């Protein structure tokens, strides 16, 4: 934490009070006496003794910023100080998790254990009275995760409302990401390959694959048309026309998720399209306000992007008609965004209430990840894009609407792959807070 950020002691104390109050209610809903959260246990690859990268249970890192403490546990019992059962094995093969230190430690009763199995004696005796959150492989003798739906529904829904502490973490995650994006852009301008741009990004972020909240998407030219392109070509293309980078950063368990697209030619046709999408994206971000339906914002984005397609000569129909005919979905085939927080694709994007239920996506929009109405405290991404994807364009060519498309213009843009611009935006009581734009501005 650098010094320009607020003292985390009071922020964390408030955060923890909020979590305790939520846990109390969740236990009432489920009829349990204790909430027990397993950090998780690393899983080995098939027929191998090498584990997959460890990803901590997001419920665990909600309570404290320990993301590398496998086989540790948290126990919340209403009215009591939360207990942390913390494994520090006697192990000379692996790094032993750091001793608890920092702003959060005073808020827990901490018991250090040396073997994973020792946790059992420190956990509540009667497993049947416990809501135990975790993966099946975290089970101890007679004490297995049960993940009660009533409890999870309540906690997941409430997790959408970030505490001031969480927003502080996400501001830092955004700053790390923005700094690394600048390094990646410099590498692109210097003619680097995707592989070397990725190295430049990780070096600037001071994070490698296992630290980052998701695998970096770094695509030059046509590769930008593969939505989750992760191949990282070692050689640069003979001529770079465009560069799309979707890469975030982690801080104390919280994610940022940032996409930028650059044109090699700063005065060319693709730059004009990038600028148009960027301006539209800022308009969508401005609508991240309490009471705004997210799926309606997604449909609004389709209309605006459809109008951009018309203005830039790709189609001859209005954005509204292009949406109705399914044409915008050829060029914008993913959702406008998703909730973000402890997970890059955070939970409860479809949840109807804190007791469960699902809010359906609008018909014809199968990839939208957020159907709720925005409320203060929610953080969502806003990530419109326009792509030239061979497979989807071939399908469109078979449709009646194909006659409304200027195929020569479309073909001329295939070499750029596509554009996406993505920010992480906080819904507040008033104007939205754009974590990503603020982070870039702070670098300038
Ligand atoms: N980086 C994945 C996404 O934008 O959702
Ligand atoms: Mn995203
Ligand atoms: Mn992204």
Q: What CATH code is carried by the domain that includes residue 113? A: 3.40.350.10
What integer best gives the mean pLDDT of the chain? 97
What would the two tokens of residue 290 be? 């309490």
Which residue intervals of 160-268 are DSSP H helices? 164-189, 194-205
DSSP state of 367: T
- Per the structure, how many domains does the chain have? 2
Q: How confident is the model at residue 5 (pLDDT cuts 50, 70, 90)?
A: low
Q: How confident is the model at residue 1 (pLDDT cuts 50, 70, 90)?
A: very low
In a domain, 381, yes or no: yes
Looking at residue 7, its pLDDT comes to 85
Is the CB–ligand 1 distance for residue 346 below 6 Å?
Answer: no
Domain boundary among 139, 159, 179: 159
Q: How confident is the model at residue 192 (pLDDT cuts 50, 70, 90)?
A: very high
- Kindly report whether the global pTM for this prediction surpasses the value 0.95: yes
Ligand 2: distance of its center to the CA of 344 in Å? 7
Is the CB–ligand 1 distance for residue 383 below 6 Å?
Answer: yes
> Which ligand 1 atom is at minimum distance from the Cα of 338?
5
In a domain, 1, yes or no: no
pLDDT in tens, 295-332: 999 999 999 999 999 999 999 999 999 999 999 999 99
Q: How far, in Å, CA of 381 to CA of 313, rounded?
A: 28
Percent of the chain with pLDDT over 70: 99
In a domain, 2, yes or no: no
Q: For residues 351 and 241, state if they share a domain.
A: yes
> Which ligand 1 atom is at minimum distance from the Cα of 247?
1
Is the CB–ligand 1 distance for residue 214 below 6 Å?
Answer: yes
Q: For residues 174 and 101, state if they share a domain.
A: no
pLDDT at 4 over 70: no
Q: For residues 229 and 133, state if they share a domain.
A: no
Domain boundary among 122, 137, 159: 159
In a domain, 279, yes or no: yes
In a domain, 233, yes or no: yes
Q: At what angle do helices 269-285 and 294-311 cross, to 10 degrees?
A: 160
Ligand 2: distance of its center to the CA of 337 in Å? 6
Is the CB–ligand 1 distance for residue 257 below 6 Å?
Answer: yes
Q: How far, in Å, CA of 268 to CA of 266, rounded?
A: 6
- For residue 420, what are the β-bridge partners? 385
298 marked as part of a ligand binding site: no
Percent of the chain with pLDDT over 90: 97
Q: For residues 140 and 232, state if they share a domain.
A: no
pLDDT in tens, 377-404: 999 999 999 999 999 999 999 999 999 9
Ligand 2: distance of its center to the CA of 210 in Å? 18
Q: For residues 22 and 137, state if they share a domain.
A: yes
Q: Which domain holds residue 261?
A: 164-443
209 marked as part of a ligand binding site: no
Q: What are phi and psi of 16, to 5 degrees?
A: -65, -40
Contact 162, 175 (CB under 8 A): no
383 marked as part of a ligand binding site: yes
> Which ligand 1 atom is at minimum distance from the Cα of 369?
5
- For residue 428, what are the β-bridge partners? none
Ligand 2: distance of its center to the CA of 42 in Å? 26
Q: For residues 190 and 130, state if they share a domain.
A: no
Q: What are phi and psi of 159, to 5 degrees?
A: -65, -15
Q: For residues 217 and 311, state if they share a domain.
A: yes
Give the helix/strand (H/E) hosting 15: helix 8-30
Ligand 3: distance of its center to the CA of 259 in Å? 6
Determine the distance from the C-alpha atom of residue 114 to the mean position of all C-alpha atoms in its chain, rounded to a whole number.
34
Contact 54, 95 (CB under 8 A): no
Q: For residues 354 and 434, state if they share a domain.
A: yes
Residue with tokens 């093969």: 93
Q: For residues 177 and 319, state if they share a domain.
A: yes
Q: For residues 235 and 108, state if they share a domain.
A: no
Domain boundary among 141, 159, 177: 159
In a domain, 143, yes or no: yes
Q: For residues 377 and 291, state if they share a domain.
A: yes
Is the CB–ligand 1 distance for residue 423 below 6 Å?
Answer: no
Q: How far, in Å, CA of 222 to CA of 202, rounded?
A: 23
Q: For residues 308 and 347, state if they share a domain.
A: yes
């Amino acid at each position: 934490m650098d010094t320009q950020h607020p003292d985390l002691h009071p922020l964390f104390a408030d955060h923890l009070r909020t979590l305790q109050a939520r846990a109390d209610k969740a236990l009432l809903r489920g009829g349990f006496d204790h909430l027990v959260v397993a950090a998780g246990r690393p899983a080995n690859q098939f027929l191998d003794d090498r584990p997959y990268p460890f990803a901590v249970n997001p419920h665990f890192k909600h309570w404290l910023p320990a993301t590398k403490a496998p086989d540790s546990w948290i126990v919340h019992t209403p009215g009591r100080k939360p207990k942390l059962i913390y494994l520090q094995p006697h192990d000379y093969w692996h790094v032993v998790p750091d001793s608890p230190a920092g702003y959060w430690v005073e808020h827990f009763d901490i018991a250090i254990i040396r073997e994973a199995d020792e946790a059992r004696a420190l956990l509540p005796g009667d497993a049947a009275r416990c809501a135990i959150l975790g993966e099946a492989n975290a089970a101890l003798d007679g004490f297995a995760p049960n993940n009660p739906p009533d409890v999870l529904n309540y906690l997941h829904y409430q997790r959408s409302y970030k505490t001031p502490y969480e927003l502080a973490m996400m501001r830092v995650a955004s700053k790390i990401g923005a700094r690394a994006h600048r390094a990646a852009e410099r590498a692109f301008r210097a003619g680097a390959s995707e592989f070397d741009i990725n190295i430049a990004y990780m070096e600037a972020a001071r994070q490698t694959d296992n630290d980052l909240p998701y695998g970096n998407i770094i695509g030059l030219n046509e590769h930008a048309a593969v939505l989750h392109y992760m191949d990282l070509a070692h050689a640069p293309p003979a001529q770079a026309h465009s560069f799309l980078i979707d890469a975030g950063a982690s801080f104390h368990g919280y994610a940022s998720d940032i996409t930028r697209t650059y044109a090699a030619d700063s005065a060319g046709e693709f730059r004009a399209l990038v600028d148009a999408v960027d301006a539209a994206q800022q308009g969508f971000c401005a609508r991240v306000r309490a009471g705004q339906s997210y799926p309606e914002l997604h449909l609004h984005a389709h209309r605006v992007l459809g109008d951009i397609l018309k203005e830039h000569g790709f189609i001859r129909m209005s954005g509204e008609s292009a949406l109705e005919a399914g044409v915008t979905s050829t060029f914008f085939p993913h959702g406008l965004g998703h909730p973000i927080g402890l997970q890059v694709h955070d939970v409860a994007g479809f949840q109807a209430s804190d007791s469960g239920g699902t809010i359906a996506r609008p018909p014809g929009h199968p990839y939208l990840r957020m159907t709720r109405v925005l409320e203060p405290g929610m953080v969502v991404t806003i990530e419109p894009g326009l792509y030239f994807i061979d497979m989807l364009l071939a399908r469109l060519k078979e449709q009646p609407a194909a006659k409304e498309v200027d195929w020569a213009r479309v073909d001329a843009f295939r070499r750029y792959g596509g554009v996406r611009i993505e920010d992480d935006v906080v819904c507040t009581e008033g104007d939205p807070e754009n974590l990503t734009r603020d982070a870039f501005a702070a670098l300038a």
